[in-house]
Amino acid sequence: MESFDLLLGGFAAALHPAVFLVLAFGLVTGTVAGALPGISFVNAMAMALPFTYLMQPTAAMAFLGGIYVGGVFGGSISSILINIPGTPASLPACWDGHPMTRAGKPQMALRIALTSSATGGLASALLLTFAAPPFARFALTFDQPEFFAATVLGLVSVIAIAKEQPILSLLSMFLGMLIGTVGVDPLYGMPRFGFGQPMLQSGVNWIVVMIGLFAVAEVIDLICEERELRPKAAGGGSISFRGLWGLKNSILRGTGLGCMIGMIPGAGATVGAVIAYGVEKQASGKGARFGTGVPEGLAAPEAAKNATTGAAMIPLLTLGIPGSAATAIMLGAMILHGINPGPLLFTSDVSTVYTIFAAMILANLLMIVAALAVAKGFSTLMRVPPAVLGAFIIVLSVVGAYGVRNNIFDVYVCLFFGLVGWGMKRTGFPTAPLVLGVILGPLAERYFLTSLVNYDNDYAIFFTRPISGTILGLAVLFGLWSLWPAIQDLRHRRAGRTTPLDHTGRVPEDG
């Protein structure tokens, strides 16, 4: 029961007015930054870093933790309301969240997203509190082949999220992976596709690509089509507690996946959310209707996304190993405040650790209040004319793209991908797989090459290591499972049968 006593002490420290106020302020800041297209909460955390100098170490951690938790959720507000993911991890929230808004049920979508996110976040904060050290030791048994296998699983989920056109989705993904190879290669330092441009040597940043493909392209489309972005009747479509309870299995699956994926360095919230969407599409039994506003399709990725927040803190606090840009900033802040995360933190600075735990738990509870307030403010913003809103989003996108590396080159890349994204949208070429390719391609390459160097160029290593082999096996099964309808369809055609297809391209169950 020692950890309960320590946790009570942690809550006492976290509820100290100075700490609690900055936590609440951080949450609102993070939620707003997350919800604004173009500005990510990682930008907000980097900007907030200098302000933490003036704070006590625990207050500084509560502040950054608040921005992190709020920001990971905030992105879904703009995904649901205007179909532009505020942060990369909120991409899947566009697929089933935005259709609900179109159907006049934005409040229902927001409540599902918020409940799922808070549940996932809370569960992973509790996991962090009570199981951090053993989980960290378990995570250490993972090596590069395991990371590679997990990345392959992420890439395979692209097939699962593809709606009607698996071939086009794969093409789009490979195009993304090709874009991801631009720049100095991670292992041998060879410049690729640099065309003599020094800036291309630094590579194409995936956040910039995402801002272009989704925010900028959506605005171009909006202006060209002269369509209304405004959600119909922001108050419409509530959901009862019973309705939310019905989603418990989806939330549970999402939370479990998020907690596991959050601990893998480099993967983080985006990969967690996408895999959870893909798995849910198969597991919920409603796969055929995914993409049309299915509650399960929103709940699972939302739960997974926030479940990565606590899980990502496990390697950070116990090993001093940050898995993402957000946790890297937290590591920097801790070092600046003289807290040294790592194996000794739990013995040398145990009260600080439990204050951080308590702050993470409080942040996930407070998030419900903060997010509802921000979402309300945000839907008011939607009433401005599309042209004004569009201009506003373009400005934010440019600032956001610049802010990633403080570099004007990234702004050009962002605008370029805005045009590309609009063209793809117009021709029906899916854009989400391209972003996943840009994110996961370089990771897969790096893990693959380092694995080979470390294991004497033995290609079998990916299958002979038990965990890596299991994950790859799952990836193959997952791929086949997702492609099954398409394979069946092909077999039916081969057999020369003229089976009528329903609108999703699937053979009717009795066919």
Chain positions contacting other proteins, by CB under 8 A: 29, 32-33, 36, 39, 44-47, 49-50, 53, 140-144, 147, 183-184, 186-189, 191, 198-199, 201-203, 265-266, 315, 319-323, 325, 328-332, 335-336, 338, 340-345, 399, 405-407, 446, 450, 453-454
- Minimal distance, residue 214 CB to other proteins, in Å: 20
Where helices occur in 142-294 by DSSP H, the ranges are: 144-161, 166-180, 198-201, 206-210, 217-225, 241-245, 248-262, 268-283
- Minimal distance, residue 39 CB to other proteins, in Å: 8
- Minimal distance, residue 140 CB to other proteins, in Å: 4
Q: How many CA atoms lie within 13 A of 38 on its CB side?
A: 25
Q: Based on CB atoms, which residue is closest to other proteins, 165 or 201?
A: 201
- Minimal distance, residue 407 CB to other proteins, in Å: 6
- Minimal distance, residue 320 CB to other proteins, in Å: 5
Q: Based on CB atoms, which residue is closest to other proteins, 73 or 478?
A: 73
- Minimal distance, residue 381 CB to other proteins, in Å: 11
- Minimal distance, residue 79 CB to other proteins, in Å: 19
Q: Based on CB atoms, which residue is closest to other proteins, 103 or 396?
A: 396
Contact 306, 72 (CB under 8 A): yes
- Minimal distance, residue 139 CB to other proteins, in Å: 8
Distances (CA, A) of 370 to 44, 115, 178, 282, 288: 16, 13, 40, 33, 35
**Residue 203's CB: how many other CB atoms inside 10 A?**
21
Pick from 96, 211, 87, 159: nearest CA to 430: 159
Alpha-carbon distance of 313 to 330, in angstroms, equals 9
Pick from 212, 145, 219, 221: nearest CA to 179: 212
Report helix, strand or coil for 191.
strand
Q: Based on CB atoms, which residue is closest to other proteins, 218 or 445?
A: 445
Q: Based on CB atoms, which residue is closest to other proteins, 302 or 410?
A: 410
**Residue linked to tokens 């956040």:** 207
Q: Based on CB atoms, which residue is closest to other proteins, 251 or 394?
A: 394
Pick from 124, 53, 157, 46: nearest CA to 306: 124
Where helices occur in 284-431 by DSSP H, the ranges are: 295-319, 325-336, 345-348, 350-381, 386-405, 408-427
Report helix, strand or coil for 457.
coil
Q: Based on CB atoms, which residue is closest to other proteins, 40 or 107?
A: 40
Q: Based on CB atoms, which residue is closest to other proteins, 42 or 259?
A: 42
- Secondary structure letter of residue 231 according to DSSP: P
Alpha-carbon distance of 86 to 41, in angstroms, equals 9
